Structure 1
Amino acid sequence: MANTQEIWLPGTECVAKYEFRNSTADDLAFGKGEIITIVASTKDPNWYKAKNSNGRVGMIPANFVKKRESVKLHMMPWFHGKISREGAEELLKELTEGLFLVRESVNFKGDYALCVCAGGKVEHYRIIYTDNKLTIDEDEHFDNLYQLVEHYERDADGLCSRLIKPLPKEGKQDFSVDKESFVKSGWSIDKRNINMGSTIGHGNFGDVLEGHYQGRKVAIKQLKDNTSAAQTFLKEASIMTTLRHKNLVSFLGLVIGDPLYIVLEYMSKGNLVDYLRSRGRSVITKPIQLNFASDIASGMAYLEEKNLAHRDLAARNILISEEDVAKVSDFGLARDVNLNTEVGKIPIKWTAPEALRKNNFSVKSDVWSYGILLWELYSYGRVPYPRVPLAEVLTHVEKGYRMEAPEGCPEFIYRIMRETWELNPQKRPSFKTILKIIASCKGSL
C-alpha cells in the first residue's frame, strides 16, 4: 500500500504496480508497469491527479502505483583493479585473519580473484564470470562483486575464512550497482512492453536502437556482453535515476536480462554535430544557436547544482528534439566530483588541462568543455583546434594559445568562451552565471 503520510509533489514519477480500469470519466486508466506523473494532490490522500506518457490527465488511486526512487551506487574500497597475485600478497602481508581484497584476474580475462588471509597465508579464489553472473563455487551466483563480498562477509560458506576486514585501495575508488535495485526502485521495464526497431547509432556500450514503449517512440541502448561494461552501463543508468531536467535526456527505465537495455526518450533530430553540419548557416540562425547555448547551459547548471561532473561535454553528446530543444546526454562518465574515478579514453580537444594532467575532473572542467562546445556550435560543427596536431593541443593551450572566434560569432559569446578557457579553474564562470549572461544578451541579437 502507498504511504499516505507522504504527500507526493507535482512532477513525482510513479510506476504502476497493477492495472487500473477507470470507473468514472474523471479516472485515468493505466496498465501494469506504465509510468505515471503526479500533477496534483487532492483532499483525499489516497487519490492523486496524474498524467500518463501521452499527456492524458485523470484521477489515480495511490495504492496502485509506486513512487520511483533513485538507485544508489555502492562503494567498493576493497577492489584493487589490475594487480598481480604477488602484488596482492604484498599488500596483504600483515596476514590478519579475514583481511581481504578483490582484484582482476591476470590469467583469465573478464574474471576476478578474491584474496583472503587465513592461517598465516593468503588464499586466492577465482571469481568466474559466466552467464552474466559471478561465482566462486558454481553454487552461489551474484550479479556483481558487491553482492559477492556482502555474502561472504556474512558467512565463510566454504572459504578459508569469513571476509572480516577489507584492505582499502589507496586513491580512487570503484563502485557497484545491483540490477535488483532497479526493480525495487521502480525502474525495471518488462521487455515484452518494448517493441525493438532498427539500429540508429553506436554508443560506448553497443548499438543504439529505436523502438516503441507505452505508445511513444524511444531510444534503446543495448549492452555489449562483458562484465565490466555491465557495471559501467548500470552506473550510467543509476546516475540517470537521480536526474530530471528539461535539458537532460530523460531515462525511462532499464530492461533487465541478457542483454541489458537502457530505455531513453527519443530525440528525433539526432546529435548537435550532425545537426549543425547538415543544416549550416542558411537554416541555423543566430537565435537558434543562442537557444541551444542556453539549453545546454541550463542542463549543465542543474548538474552543477547537484555537484555532478559530466566529464564528456561536447556537441556529439548533445541531442536535439523534434521541437529543437537541446538536451545533454551520455552520462556514462558522470560522477560526483568528490568520487573522482579513472575513466577510459579522454577526448583531449574538449578536456580541461587540469583534467588531462592530473585527472582532476570537476564542474569547472565541464565549464572549459562548454567553451569548446560553444566554438563547435558557432563554427557549425567544425572540429576544434583545426590547425593544431592532437599531440600538441595541451602544450599550446598551456602556453596561452586560444582558438579565434568563429566567423559571425557574437562578441559576447566569444567572451564567454575565453572566460571558460581560463587555466585557473576557479577563474572560470559557473554555469549559473553563463546562463544569466546569455539571458541578458538574448534581446541584443
Structure 2
Amino acid sequence: MRSLLYLTIAIALTGFIAGCYTDDDGPLPPPPSVGSVELWMERDTVHFLWGDSVIVDGYVLLRDPAGGPVPYCAVHIYLTQPFGQLDFTGPSHATTDSSGCVYFRFRSYNQTGIQTVVAECQEHSDSWMLWLLAPSFGPGLSLAASPRLLSFLPGQCDSVRLMAVVWDNDERGIPDTTIILSAPCGTWEPFPPTNQAGYTETWWTVCEYGVFTLTATCGSLMDSVTVDVVSPVAAVQIWLPTDTLRFLPGDTAVVEGWVVVKDSDGRGLAGAVVRMSLAVPLGFLSYLDPVLRDTTDENGRVYFAFTTYQPGVQIITVECGGRTDRWPLVIEQVPPPVPCVEVTFDPDTLWLGPGLTDSTLLTVSWLDECCGGSCIMQFAITGTGPFRYIVEDSATYMAGWWHPFCCGTFCFFASAYDANGNRWGRDSACVFVDSVSTLNE
C-alpha cells in the first residue's frame, strides 16, 4: 500500500513538472503536447568596450505537433556559463503567453566569452550561442551632427542627423556596439547597434532655442558635439491705440491692439506663435482671430483685445523667439458725469373716467456742454393725447402739460445730439394712467 501511495504522488508531481497551467475548477485536463521549442535572439555576436554592459533581447516559442502555439505553459530557460543573467520582460515571466511566447533579456557587464542560452519544455529543447567580444586595443569614439545650426519659427521644431563611429587602435570599426546618446532637451531614438564599419546614426529633434551639447558614450569612451538653435525673429512689437484707458464705475473697458513679428529684413513672419502675459492681471486678454489665435497671419500680426474693470497700471508683455516687448497701460476710473438729459413727470400717476380728466407736468432739461456747445434735441412719446407747452427754450429747457385720452402706461423719450449726429445723452420717464373705477374700488 505504501508503494502504491508513493507511485500516485510521483504521477501527480510529474503533471506539475511538465509545467502547463490548468484551470483549478474541475478535473485537471492532460497537459498540452509540445511539438517543438524555438529559441531566438536579436544577435549572436556582441562587441562591447571595456567597462560597458551588454543587453540582448530574445524569445522562446512553443509549438504543438500541428504547428500551432502552445499557450500558458512553463518553459525552463537557463544559461550554461556562470556569467550574465536572464530577465523576463513579459507579464507571465517564464510561462508562455496567449501566443505561445516567453520574452526575455540577457544582461552582462564587462564580461567576455561564449554564453549559451537553453530553453527546455517536456522532451524538446533549443539553444542559442552568444559571442561576447571586446577589442584587444584601446578604441576611439567620434560623434558628428548635421547641420550644426538650426533656425525655425516659434512653435515649430527641427531635427539634426547624428552620426557616431567607434573603432580600435588599428582604425577598424567595431561592429555590434551600443552607443548611448544624451542631450539636455529634445527627443531622439536610441542609436542602433553599430554596423560592420562601427557606424550608427539617429535623429535628434528640438523645439527650443539655445546652444545644446549632445554627448555620446560607449563604455569609458565619450565624445560631444554642439548644436546652435537660433530664432529667425529679429523683433517683436506690441501696439495699442492708447496709453490710458478710462471707464465708468460699474462698467468695463475694452481696447484692441496687435502684435507684429519681424525678421532681420523688417518683414512680417507668418506662422510664428506669440506668448502674451499680464503682470499682476487687472483684466484678461483674448485673441480676435478664432482660427489663428496666437499665431501670426501672412503679415506677421496677431490681433488681440484687453478687457478690464478695475483701475491700475497693467503691463502687457509679448514674447516670441526670444524677443520681448511690453506696453504699460494706465487704467483710470472716471467719476460719473452729470446727466446730459433729464426727463420727469409730475405726477407720474393719472386718473381717467367719465367726467374726469387729469394731466401731468412733463419737464425736460439738458446741458449744452455735453454736446460741445449746442444740443439738438429729439423727442418721442408713446400713446395719444394733447400736449400744451408752457415753457419752451430750445437751448436748455422745455416743459408742458400732457392730457391722456386712455388708460395705460406712456413713456416720453428725449435724446441730445451734437451737430455731427453723435448722441451724447438720452433719458426717459413714464406715467401710469388708471381708470376711476379702479380708484373707487
Q: Same fold (TM over 0.5)?
A: no
| Larger helix proportion of the pair | 1
TM-score interval for Structure 1 and Structure 2 normalised by the shorter chain: under 0.3
| Larger strand proportion of the pair | 2
TM score, norm. by length of structure 2: 0.19
